[in-house]
C-alpha cells in the first residue's frame, strides 16, 4: 500500500467518524422538510465513505487513523476499522438511511423536525464512535453518549408522562451500566498496560490469568447487559416505546441495544473462553431469550410485542457470544444482521398500521390483509423471518444457533440443557409471530376500521419493501449476498486463520433442522391453546403498552 493510499483511507475514516456530528450541527439551522432531506444526504454520504473503504477491509486489513484531540495532555482521537466494525457501521448507515426516508413521511406535519433529525444524526454518530474507537476509554465516552442522546429521543414528545418516565429509566439503567464499563476498562488498561484496543485484544491470556479478571468480567458484563436489555435489566427497553416509531425502528435494529452485543463479541477473545464467561453470558442470554419470548406473546400493543421480541433475540445473540466457538461467533454476527433487517421492517410496519388505523392494539385490529394487502404481505414475510421460516434470513442464523446449542462445549449443566432451552424459547418466538400475523391481518374486520382504512403512501412502504427484499435475498442466496461480509467480520474477531464458512440454505436432515421443526410445531400449538384467551387479559404492565406517537397512552 502506498503512503498516498494510506493517507486517503485515514482521511475517509476520520470523515466517516465526524460526518454524523457535522450533519447534526447543520440540521439545527434548517427548517421544515429540508431537515429530512439533509439527514438522508448525510446517511448516503456515510454509505459512500464505507464503500470507499470496503476494498482493503474485505481483504482483511485493519485501518487506523489518529487525530490530535488535546495535544497538551497527550490525548488523540484514535480510530480503528476492521471487518466487524465495517459490517456494523454499514448496517447502521444503511438502516439509518431507510429510517430517515420513513421518518420524512411518517413525521410530516409534526413539530420540531429539525431537532428530531439532528438528534437522529447525533445518535448515529455516537454509535459509529463505539464501532470505530481504537481506544477503550474513548469507546466508553461514545457508549455514554448513546445513552444521553437516546434519552432525548425517547423523550422527544416530552408532554407525555410515559415518554418522560421511559427516557429517565433508559438513561438511569444504561448510564449506570456505562459507569461499570468505565471501571472495567480502566482496570483492563491497568492489567494490559495500555488502553489501545489492538493491544488489549491481543492480551487475552494475560487478562484471564490475572487476579483482577473476576472483577473486570463482572463490571464489563454489567455494562454490556444493561445496554443490551438482558435479564434482569430488560425492563427499560419496553418503556422506551414512547419514542416516535422511527426512533424505535432504529434503536431496536441497528443501534443502542446492539451496542451491548457488539461489545460482547468484540471482547470475547479477551474475556471469553472461561467457565465463568460461559455460565454468565450464555446463562443470562438464554434466560433473556426465553423471558422476552414469553412476555412478547402476551402483549397487546404491536410495539410492545416487538420490543419484547427484540429482548428475546438479543438474548439469543448474547448466548452465542457466551458459547464463543468459531461457529457461535459467526452465527451471532450473522443474526445481528438478520435481526436488524427484519426488526426494522416490523417496527416500520407497526407504525404504518398505527398511521392508517389509529391504533396499535391488536385487540382492535383484524382482517387488515384485505384492506392493506401490500403492507400485509410485507409484514407476514418479515414476521416469518423473525420466526425463522425457511428461505428467509432468520431461518439460517437460527439453525446455526440450534446447531451450536446441540454441539458439546464444556460439559456443564448449562451446556447439557442448551438444546432444550433453545427449543422452548424458539417455540415462543414462533408463537408470538403467529399471533402477530393472525390477530392483525386475518379474521373479521372490526366495524371501526371498515370503509376507512387503505394502503399507506408508497414512500412510507418503500423502506419496508427494501428490507423485506433483503430478508428474501439473504434467505435464498446467503453465500452470494452476505457470506463474504460475515466471514470477514468473523475473522476480524477470531483471527485470520479461521476457515471460511460457507453459508448454505440446506445442510441436510440434522439435529438443528429437527429442533427447528419441533419448535415450529410447539409454537403453533402454544398459539392454538392461547389465541382466544390472551385477548381477554390485560397488559401485564400498562405503562409498557407504550405511548401513541402523539405522546398519550393507547388503549
Check pLDDT > 80 for residue 547. no
pLDDT, average across residues 475-483: 95
Interstrand relation of 63-70 and 75-81 (parallel, antiparallel or unpaired)? antiparallel
pLDDT, average across residues 105-132: 91
Please name which of 306, 282, 277 lies closest in space to residue 292, comparing C-alpha atoms.
Answer: 306
CA distance 108 to 113: 8
Reported as a single tens digit per residue, the pLDDT across 194-230 is 999 999 999 999 999 999 999 999 999 999 999 999 9
Please name which of 315, 320, 304, 142 lies closest in space to residue 237, comparing C-alpha atoms.
Answer: 304
Reported as a single tens digit per residue, the pLDDT across 349-396 is 999 999 999 999 999 999 999 999 999 999 999 999 999 999 999 999
- Domain of 212 in residue numbering reads as 160-545
Q: How many domains, the chain?
A: 1
> 64 — phi, psi (to 5°)?
-135, 150
Reported as a single tens digit per residue, the pLDDT across 181-193 is 999 999 999 999 9
Please name which of 441, 281, 432 lies closest in space to residue 368, comparing C-alpha atoms.
Answer: 441
Q: What percent of the chain has pLDDT over 90?
A: 81
Calculate helix-pair angle for 458-476, 393-406, nearest 10 degrees.
40
Share in percent of the chain as helix, strand, coil (round to 5): 75, 5, 20
> pLDDT at position 71, please?
64
- CB within 8 Å of 117: residues ≥ 6 apart: 27, 35, 36, 38, 39, 100, 103
CA distance 154 to 157: 8
pLDDT, average across residues 7-30: 93
Q: How remote is the C-alpha of 470 from its chain's centroid? A: 16
Evaluate whether 455 touches 374 at the Cβ level (below 8 Å). yes
Return the residue matching grid coordinates 471460511.
500
Q: Which helix (H) or strand (E) holds 360?
A: none
Quickly state the pLDDT bin for 551 (edges 50, 70, 90): very low
Return the residue matching grid coordinates 416530552.
158
Strand partners, 196: 135
pLDDT, average across residues 407-434: 92
Residue 101, domain member (yes or no): no
DSSP SS3 for 64: strand
Please name which of 22, 8, 23 lies closest in space to residue 63, comparing C-alpha atoms.
Answer: 8
Q: Where would I find the H helices in 210-277?
A: 213-227, 236-239, 245-253, 257-266, 268-271, 275-277
Residue 468, domain member (yes or no): yes
Task: Write down the mean pLDDT value for the chain.
Answer: 92
- CB within 8 Å of 197: residues ≥ 6 apart: 78, 80, 133, 134, 135, 136, 139
Cα-based distances in Å from 243 to 153, 162, 397: 6, 10, 29
CA distance 434 to 531: 10
> Which of 93 and 243 is assigned the larger pLDDT?
93
HSE-CB of 153 using CA atoms within 13 angstroms: 27
Evaluate whether 297 touches 526 at the Cβ level (below 8 Å). yes
C-alpha cell at 371: 384492506
Residue 540, domain member (yes or no): yes
| Other beta carbons less than 10 A from residue 3's beta carbon | 7
Residue 501, domain member (yes or no): yes
Q: How many helices (H) and strands (E) does the chain have?
A: 25, 2
C-alpha cell at 136: 477503550
pLDDT, average across residues 54-77: 82
Question: Cα torsion for 408, 410, 413, 416, to the nearest 10°?
Answer: 0
Quickly state the pLDDT bin for 72 (edges 50, 70, 90): low
- CB within 8 Å of 179: residues ≥ 6 apart: none
Quickly state the pLDDT bin for 539 (edges 50, 70, 90): low
Evaluate whether 157 touches 242 at the Cβ level (below 8 Å). yes
Quickly state the pLDDT bin for 120 (edges 50, 70, 90): very high
CA distance 201 to 134: 11
Q: What percent of the chain has pLDDT over 70?
A: 95
Strand partners, 437: none
Q: How remote is the C-alpha of 105 from its chain's centroid? A: 23
> pLDDT at position 418, please?
95
pLDDT, average across residues 70-92: 86
Check pLDDT > 50 for residue 454. yes
C-alpha cell at 405: 446449542
Quickly state the pLDDT bin for 67 (edges 50, 70, 90): confident
Check pLDDT > 70 for residue 541. no
Evaluate whether 351 touches 246 at the Cβ level (below 8 Å). yes
CA distance 488 to 482: 10
Evaluate whether 381 touches 433 at the Cβ level (below 8 Å). no
> 81 — phi, psi (to 5°)?
-135, 125
> pLDDT at position 450, please?
87
Evaluate whether 260 touches 88 at the Cβ level (below 8 Å). no
Strand partners, 547: 553
> pLDDT at position 545, please?
37
Residue 92, domain member (yes or no): no
Burial class, 480, CB count within 10 angstroms (exposed 0-12 / middle 13-18 / buried 19+): exposed
Residue 46, domain member (yes or no): no
Residue 20, domain member (yes or no): no
DSSP SS3 for 498: coil
Check pLDDT > 60 for residue 25. yes
Reported as a single tens digit per residue, the pLDDT across 242-290 is 889 999 999 989 888 999 999 999 999 999 999 999 999 999 999 999 9
Residue 365, domain member (yes or no): yes
Return the residue matching grid coordinates 462445549.
409
Amino acid at each position: 500500500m502506498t503512503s498516498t493510499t494510506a493517507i486517503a483511507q485515514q482521511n475517509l475514516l476520520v470523515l466517516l467518524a465526524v460526518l454524523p456530528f457535522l450533519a447534526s450541527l447543520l440540521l439545527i439551522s434548517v427548517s421544515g422538510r429540508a431537515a429530512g432531506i439533509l439527514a438522508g444526504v448525510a446517511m448516503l454520504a456515510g454509505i459512500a465513505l464505507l464503500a470507499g473503504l470496503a476494498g482493503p477491509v474485505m481483504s482483511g486489513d485493519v485501518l487506523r487513523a489518529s487525530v490530535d484531540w488535546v495535544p497538551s495532555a497527550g490525548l488523540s482521537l484514535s480510530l480503528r476499522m476492521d471487518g466487524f466494525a465495517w459490517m456494523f457501521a454499514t448496517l447502521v448507515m444503511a438502516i439509518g438511511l431507510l429510517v430517515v426516508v420513513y421518518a420524512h413521511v411518517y413525521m410530516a406535519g409534526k413539530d420540531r423536525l429539525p431537532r428530531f433529525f439532528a438528534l437522529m444524526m447525533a445518535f448515529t454518530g455516537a454509535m459509529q464512535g463505539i464501532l470505530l474507537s481504537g481506544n477503550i476509554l474513548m469507546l466508553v465516552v461514545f457508549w455514554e453518549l448513546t445513552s444521553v442522546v437516546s434519552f432525548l429521543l425517547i423523550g422527544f414528545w416530552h408532554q407525555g408522562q410515559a415518554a418522560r418516565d421511559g427516557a429517565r429509566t433508559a438513561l438511569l439503567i444504561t448510564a449506570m451500566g456505562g459507569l461499570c464499563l468505565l471501571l472495567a476498562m480502566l482496570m483492563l488498561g491497568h492489567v494490559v498496560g495500555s488502553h489501545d484496543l489492538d493491544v488489549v485484544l491481543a492480551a487475552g491470556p494475560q487478562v484471564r490469568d490475572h487476579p483482577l479478571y473476576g472483577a473486570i468480567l463482572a463490571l464489563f458484563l454489567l455494562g454490556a447487559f444493561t445496554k443490551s436489555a438482558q435479564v434482569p435489566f430488560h425492563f427499560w427497553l419496553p418503556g422506551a416505546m414512547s419514542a416516535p416509531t422511527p426512533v424505535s425502528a432504529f434503536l431496536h435494529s441497528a443501534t443502542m441495544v446492539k451496542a451491548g452485543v457488539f461489545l460482547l463479541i468484540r471482547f470475547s477473545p479477551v474475556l471469553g473462553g472461561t467457565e465463568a464467561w460461559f455460565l454468565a453470558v450464555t446463562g443470562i442470554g438464554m434466560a433473556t431469550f426465553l423471558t422476552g419470548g414469553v412476555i412478547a406473546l402476551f402483549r397487546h400493543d404491536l410495539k410492545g410485542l416487538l420490543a419484547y421480541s427484540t429482548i428475546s433475540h438479543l438474548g439469543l445473540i448474547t448466548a452465542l457470544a457466551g458459547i464463543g466457538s468459531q461457529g457461535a461467533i459467526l452465527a451471532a454476527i450473522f443474526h445481528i444482521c438478520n435481526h436488524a433487517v427484519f426488526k426494522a421492517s416490523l417496527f416500520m410496519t407497526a407504525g404504518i398500521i398505527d398511521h392508517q388505523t389509529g391504533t396499535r392494539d391488536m385487540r382492535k385490529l383484524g382482517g387488515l390483509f384485505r384492506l392493506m394487502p401490500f403492507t400485509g404481505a410485507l409484514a407476514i414475510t418479515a414476521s416469518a423471518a423473525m420466526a425463522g421460516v425457511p428461505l428467509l434470513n432468520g431461518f439460517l442464523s437460527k439453525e446455526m444457533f440450534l446447531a451450536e446449542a446441540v454441539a458439546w462445549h464444556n460439559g456443564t449443566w448449562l451446556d447439557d440443557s442448551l438444546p432444550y432451552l433453545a427449543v422452548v424459547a424458539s417455540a415462543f418466538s414462533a408463537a408470538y409471530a403467529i399471533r402477530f400475523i393472525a390477530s392483525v391481518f386475518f379474521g373479521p374486520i372490526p366495524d371501526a376500521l371498515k370503509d376507512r382504512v387503505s394502503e399507506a403512501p408508497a414512500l412510507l412502504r418503500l423502506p419496508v419493501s427494501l428490507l423485506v427484499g433483503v430478508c428474501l435475498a439473504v434467505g435464498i442466496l446467503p453465500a452470494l449476498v452476505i457470506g463474504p461480509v460475515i466471514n470477514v467480520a468473523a475473522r476480524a474477531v477470531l483471527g485470520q486463520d479461521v476457515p471460511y464458512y460457507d453459508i448454505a440454505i440446506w445442510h441436510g436432515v440434522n439435529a438443528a433442522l429437527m429442533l427447528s421443526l419441533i419448535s415450529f410445531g410447539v409454537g403453533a400449538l402454544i398459539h392454538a391453546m392461547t389465541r382466544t384467551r390472551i385477548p381477554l387479559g390485560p397488559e401485564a404492565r400498562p405503562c409498557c403498552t407504550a405511548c401513541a406517537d402523539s405522546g398519550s397512552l393507547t388503549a
